[in-house]
Structure 1
Amino acid sequence: MSSDFWRGRKVFITGHTGFRGSHLALALKKAGAEVFGFSLSPSTNPNFFEVANVGQGMSSTFGDVRDGTALKASLEFSQAEVVFHLAGGGGLRDSWDKVSETYSSQVMGSVNLLECLRETATVRAVVFLSSDKVYRPSKTELVESDPLAGGAPAATAKACVDLILESYLQGVFAPEKYNKHKIALASARMGSAIGGGDFSPESFIWQLAQANQAGLDLPLKNPDSIRPWMHVDDAVSALRTLAQGLLEQGPKLSGAWNLGVGTSHQMSVGQATEIFKAQYRNSSVKEFTLASKGSTHGLLNSEKALNQLSWQPHVSVEVSIQKTADWYKQYFA
């Protein structure tokens, strides 16, 4: 990725006060981009947006993506060339407590943005943040052509948004009409990310950090559960790389993209906990043996991203956990 590619470019981020949105905004500002954000106020206290002073040096509008008028005004004001749509997220479990809000925010918020894009004169590339949970878990490695399915409301809503995006790509923003609309759109499917500043009540890492700060051992429900672990720096890199590809290659890259980690980034919850504890407490890692095979979360096959975007994760699973532990240790210091 060219170090000067983002310098001076105007970028619009929905959901910029969230965990990944804040990290993306910081990275783009550091790269020299002019960043505009549209989002609800931070949903937790503390939150990374305020802790890291993300709002400094960028334009922030606090609003709801379901408010199409406000969203359109903010997007027009930005005169952005690139849009990252990260708003309308939320945890899988708590989405059952606010089903209507989850669907209206993700689905109608996305439709509002797509309708705004029909009237924009400046936007050329749009990346929608999707999820690895949109697929029907039918096999170990999932590819972009695998069928979508429902689950928790948050996951089902993301699947709905991917289908809506596909509809727009067959109609209003069809590649063969690119000379008219001049917008390339893509869906970035990725799993959850770890890193400093995730203060979500559902975050296992945040719970682990609080326990270590208190000198306690966090009780683990499923220590043998094997998960893929992706650092937020790699997640941000994936989003930026996809957006750059859309700008440079246009509709050739429109559509769905898996941007995940492979088997080398798999580790059990118990093993990850031991590495985090050791880094936090400046001690050696205790040997951890799985009592059983445990469950394995499905992996995204990201060969398409490697072959066409030259993107792959660079932060190893061990370093990801160690960097995260260091961040929280400094936060509490």
Structure 2
Amino acid sequence: MADLEGSLEGMVMTEFWQGKRVFLTGHTGFKGSWLTLWLLSLRAIVYGYSLESETNPSLFVQLGLEKEIDHHLGDIRDAETLAQKIISFQPDIVLHLAAQPLVRRSYIEPLQTWDINVLGTIHVLEALKKLAYPCAALFITTDKCYENREWVYSYREDDPLGGYDPYSSSKAGAEIAIASWRRSFFNSSNINIKIASARAGNVIGGGDWAEDRIVPDAMRSLQAQQPIPVRSPRATRPWQHVLEPLGGYLLLAEKLYHQIVEPQASVNFFDTAFNFGPNLSSNRPVKELVTTILNYWPGQWQDCSSPTALHEAQLLNLTTDKAFHTLGWQPVWGFEQTIEKTVHWYRQASQLDSSQQYGDLRKLTLDQIQDYSRDQVEQKHKESSDRSVDVIGQKS
């Protein structure tokens, strides 16, 4: 029994999430839609609070999620309404994903970016202060919150925050606010609210239809039988499938909740910041990402780089040692499998008409969630078996 429990360390537990009340901001977005479907598959009770999706098509609509959750269109900049919704729902877990997530748009709308990403975060923090029962809150920021020095070393959670562009700096501002509110208002042992933040690398996967992102741009170009425009072919990013950080978020939220209701059983403190990124081998240049995509969907790409282009980071890596040692979390899918799963989703979607999309895309998305969960179980069992072999070898 002990061996089985050990092999499950670092995995999302279905029994924990069943019946849990989850307040999810940004649920209509790309990551929010995947997370909503995963939570529903875990039988959680989901309240979604977000603006309407800006993309057409919208993954949230394609998956038919509106009728399966308590779906509310709202703006996190509306502090009064946001607080009222959180308080009336009485969540066990708050997952704050809502954001202005695009670097290039932040140059055009810097004030709005800061308003949404910093003040919106503070509005959630202020609402949490009014809760009188146990609640674990996880705030999703980004790997771009670090002061990027364009070096080969991976950033750790205690490295300096910063940001060149308004988006990156706004996320650093959000992290500073989260740390401040944690120390100022949620730091006492008798407080029933615990907050943490999660910083993820570049996330890809089926159903991302945003503008100015390389994978959605590539998929649109391939479907139209046009060359893929590539702005920064030499820029290196930590590519990971959307399910990787989402699994980390669920795991961290679970641990955070247990820290509140079972403080005597917690040997670690989870109310801090955590990185969620891929293995080092998945840090690849954009050029390699595109050429790998073309292995699964034939076509061409063209270099559209310009010396007058807006500044974007060229080199960015995260270390996830803390998540591994504290949560037992680690990536499951490598670079090649991530690309294969992503392109497969889009190619399947491209072959469906609107009348087929709801059922077929939902099944495809759920199948990938199940594939990921199965592969994670196999990874854990393999690690457990390898440890057993090592122990036997040491004894002999």
TM over 0.5: yes
For residues 133-192 of structure 1, the C-alpha deviation after alignment (integer angstroms, 9 at most, x for no partner) is 111123421111111113211111111111111111111111xx131x211110101122
Match of 1:237 in 2: 247
Structure-2 separation of matches of 1:135 and 1:313: 21
| Aligned pair partner of 1:41 in 52, 58, 61 | 52
**1:154 has 2:167 as partner:** yes
Q: Which residue identity does 2:30 align to in structure 1? A: F
Structure-2 separation of matches of 1:206 and 1:236: 19
TM-score, reference length from structure 1? 0.91
Structure-1 separation of matches of 2:73 and 2:19: 23
Matched-pair contact (CA < 8 Å) for 2:202–2:237: no
| Aligned pair partner of 1:308 in 292, 303, 326 | 326
TM-score, reference length from structure 2? 0.77
Matched-pair contact (CA < 8 Å) for 1:15–1:21: yes
Structure-2 separation of matches of 1:97 and 1:273: 27
**1:187 has 2:197 as partner:** yes
Larger Cα-atom Rg = 2
Structure-2 separation of matches of 1:54 and 1:276: 29
2:195 aligns to what SS in structure 1?
A: strand
Q: Which residue identity does 2:226 align to in structure 1? A: L
Q: Which residue identity does 1:244 align to in structure 2? A: E
1:161 aligns to what SS in structure 2?
A: helix
Matched-pair contact (CA < 8 Å) for 1:211–1:218: yes
| Aligned pair partner of 1:271 in 281, 288, 302 | 288
Structure-2 separation of matches of 1:123 and 1:232: 28
Let me know the Cα RMSD of the aligned residues: 1.7
Structure-2 separation of matches of 1:301 and 1:47: 32
Match of 2:91 in 1: 80
Match of 1:287 in 2: none
2:103 aligns to what SS in structure 1?
A: coil
Change (3 A) 1:168 1:221: closer
Structure-2 separation of matches of 1:249 and 1:273: 42
Q: Which has the higher helix share?
A: 2
Aligned residues: 318
| Aligned pair partner of 1:94 in 96, 105, 118 | 105
Structure-1 separation of matches of 2:134 and 2:259: 15
Match of 1:323 in 2: 341
1:129 deviates by 0.4
Change (3 A) 1:311 1:124: same
1:224 deviates by 3.4
For residues 170-225 of structure 1, the C-alpha deviation after alignment (integer angstroms, 9 at most, x for no partner) is 11111xx131x211110101122000011111111111111211223213343333
Match of 2:28 in 1: 17
Q: Which residue identity does 1:275 align to in structure 2? A: T
Stretch of structure 1 that moved more, 314-323 or 251-260: 251-260
Match of 2:146 in 1: 135
1:296 deviates by 5.7
Change (3 A) 1:150 1:220: closer
Matched-pair contact (CA < 8 Å) for 2:87–2:130: no
Q: Which residue identity does 1:184 align to in structure 2? A: K
Alignment gaps of 5+ in structure 1:
284-294
For residues 86-125 of structure 1, the C-alpha deviation after alignment (integer angstroms, 9 at most, x for no partner) is 1123201111111111111111111111111111134521
Match of 1:292 in 2: none
Match of 2:208 in 1: 198
Alignment gaps of 5+ in structure 2:
1-10, 264-268, 300-312, 352-396
